[in-house]
């Protein structure tokens, strides 16, 4: 229980920010730092919970990472702009 409305609002804003940050950037973080690192080799593939780990494409993970970041950056701007124009009407 927060003592004032301002403390409640500040805590709420912080929680929403953290949730959205994790929600948007967990996938690019996974692609950049973990995907393709623990695959193994053909006779001994790495597994996690009984499933084989994902591998990057022949060109590497940079293309996939660039696509995800493009979608996040441009897509979020487009959605926000559309909402900004449509909601007032």
Mean pLDDT of 46-64: 78
Neighbouring CB atoms inside 10 A of 41's CB total: 7
Full domain range(s) for residue 33:
5-86
Distance CA 3, CA 67 (A): 44
Count structural domains, the chain.
Answer: 1
Average pLDDT, the chain: 86
Q: Render pLDDT for 69-82 as a digit per residue (tens, 0 to 9).
A: 998 889 889 988 99
Return the percentage of the chain with pLDDT > 70, whole number: 100
pLDDT of 28 > 80? The answer is yes
């Amino acid at each position: 229980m927060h003592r004032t409305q301002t403390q409640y609002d500040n805590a709420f804003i912080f929680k929403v920010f953290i949730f959205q940050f994790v929600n948007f950037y967990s996938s690019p973080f996974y692609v950049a730092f973990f995907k393709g690192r623990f695959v193994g080799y053909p006779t001994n593939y790495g597994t996690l919970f009984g499933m084989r780990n994902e591998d990057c494409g022949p060109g590497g993970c940079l293309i996939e990472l660039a696509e995800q970041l493009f979608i996040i950056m441009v897509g979020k701007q487009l959605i926000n702009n559309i909402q900004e124009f449509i909601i007032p009407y």
